[in-house]
Amino acid sequence: MPNADKGRVPAERSRRVSRWFDPRGIAPGQLAFVLHRITGLGLVFYLYLHLAVLSLLARGPEAWDRFIDLAKTTPILILDVVLIFGLLFHALNGLRLTLVSLNMGVRRQTALFWGAALVTVVLTAVAGWMIFRM
């Protein structure tokens, strides 16, 4: 529950968040939680970046064409692949969480997590191949 540890001292709270980035002895459930949070926050950042970029459309064709030239450079294409990895993992792990919340596949949730991770890697590779081939 969100406020289950209410009353803990601030140092203890920040230690809990800093543990997101500590890979030592991490269990699959915790890894899923951490990756879901990190990809989620990354996607929120991307949402607002995307809206800022799309505002170029209001300035007319020249501004948009300049962006298209930039978007086709290798560093941006690599970031597109990272974005697709984040999107796919967040979506597939989110579906796993939804199933578990509905009491479906609770006993197989670790297998579902690794399945989601595998599908994410395969689809990211396919999407990456398509992005660099375009």
Partner 1 sequence: MAEQKRRSKSRRAFWWQVISGVFLVVLATVHMVANHFVVPGGLRTYADVVAYIGTPAIFLLETVFLIMVTVHALLGVRAVLLDLSPSETTTRRLDRVLVLLGVVTMIYATGLMAVVARGGL
In angstroms, rounded to a whole number, what is the distance separating the alpha carbons of residues 92 and 110? 13
User: Exposed, middle or buried, 52 (CB in 10 Å: 0-12/13-18/19+)?
Assistant: exposed
Q: Report the residue number, 26 or 53, with the smaller CB distance to partner 1.
A: 53
Smallest separation (angstroms) from partner 1 to the CB of 103:
13
The residue among 5 and 22 lying less far from partner 1, judged by its C-beta, is: 5
Query: Which residues of this chain interact with partner 1, rule CB under 8 A?
Result: 1-3, 5-8, 13-14, 16-17, 37, 40-41, 43-44, 47-48, 51, 54-55, 57-61, 64-65, 68, 71-72, 87, 91, 94-95, 97-98, 101, 127, 130-131, 134
d(CA 94, CA 113): 10
CB of 12 to partner 1, least distance (A): 9
Tokens 């800093």 belong to: 18
Task: Residue 42: count other Cβ atoms within 10 Å of its Cβ.
Answer: 16
Q: Which is nearer to partner 1, 23 or 60 (CB)?
A: 60
